[in-house]
Amino acid sequence: MSDMKQRAAEKAIEYVEDGMIVGVGTGSTVAYFIDALAAWKDRIAGTVSSSEQSTARLRSHGIEVIDLNAAGPLSLYVDGADECDPHKRLIKGGGAALTREKIIAEASERFVCIVDPSKRVDVLGRFPLPVEVIPMARSLVAREILRLTGGQPVWRDGVVTDNGNLILDVHNLSIVDPVAMERELNQVPGVVSVGLFARRPADVVIVGGEPPLVL
């Protein structure tokens, strides 16, 4: 699948324009995008990064990383996903960067999602849904998730997010109304963010292939 990821990432470079500040997601597909973006580093105004991992890779190429507060609204955000449905709604957070990813997606006019073909599904939920939680609320949130969704929350043991929080991965979901589930889970005290990108889905999905498919 890595060549499919690379093809999707390289296609996304077509959305980069001179002078842009580019929002950059996290993950193995985005790593290819960062590598391709290196050729643009003197033409763009900089990047806003969604994780320490992506920041390190961007800086290793000499690409400038800017604080979102200083950057203001962004015209482009490029990120991967763990699942993508036909309405461009996503599950994200396999790399535990969902909260910053969601913030940058919200700040961006156009969200270009880059995936390999295995990420396409009809109904979201086969991939366990990541939920970032405040550490003291871990058990409370897990009980609430079970009650509200029927899914099985599993603590991603040993993982601490860039924000100092924990991840619960919710198994055995079939998410027929992702907007409603995103809204409902967001309201549980202790939930920092939910890895459903349904209220603000992707605008463009690029599926790696020969040639890449643009949805």
Find the binder of ligand 5RP among 22, 44, 96, 191 (CB under 6 A).
96
191 binds ligand 5RP (CB under 6 A): no
Sequence-distant (6+) residues with CB within 8 A of 111 are 77, 79, 105, 200, 201, 202, 203, 204
Segments in 108-211 forming alpha helices (H): 138-149, 178-186
Of 63 and 97, the one with the shorter C-beta distance to ligand 5RP is 97
Say how far apart CA 5 and CA 117 lie, in whole Å: 9
How far apart are CB 26 and ligand 5RP at their closest, in Å? 4
How far apart are CB 161 and ligand 5RP at their closest, in Å? 9
> Beta-carbon neighbour count of residue 7 at 10 Å?
22
Among 101, 132, 144, 182, which one carries the catalytic annotation? Answer: 101
In the window 21-40, what residues touch ligand 5RP (CB under 6 A)? 25-29
Q: Taking contact as CB under 6 A, which single stretch among the options 88-96, 153-161, 171-179, 183-191 is the one that binds ligand 5RP? A: 88-96
Strands in 90-91's sheet, in edge-to-edge order, are 83-84, 90-91, 196-197
Q: How many CA atoms lie within 13 A of 148 on its CB side?
A: 18
Report CA torsion sign: 69, 77, 116, 18: negative
Of 103 and 140, the one with the shorter C-beta distance to ligand 5RP is 103
Q: What is the size of the binding site for ligand 5RP (CB under 6 A)?
A: 17
The answer to whether 182 is a known catalytic residue is: no
**Residue ranges binding ligand 5RP (CB under 6 A):** 25-29, 79-82, 92-98, 101
The residues that are catalytic are: 101
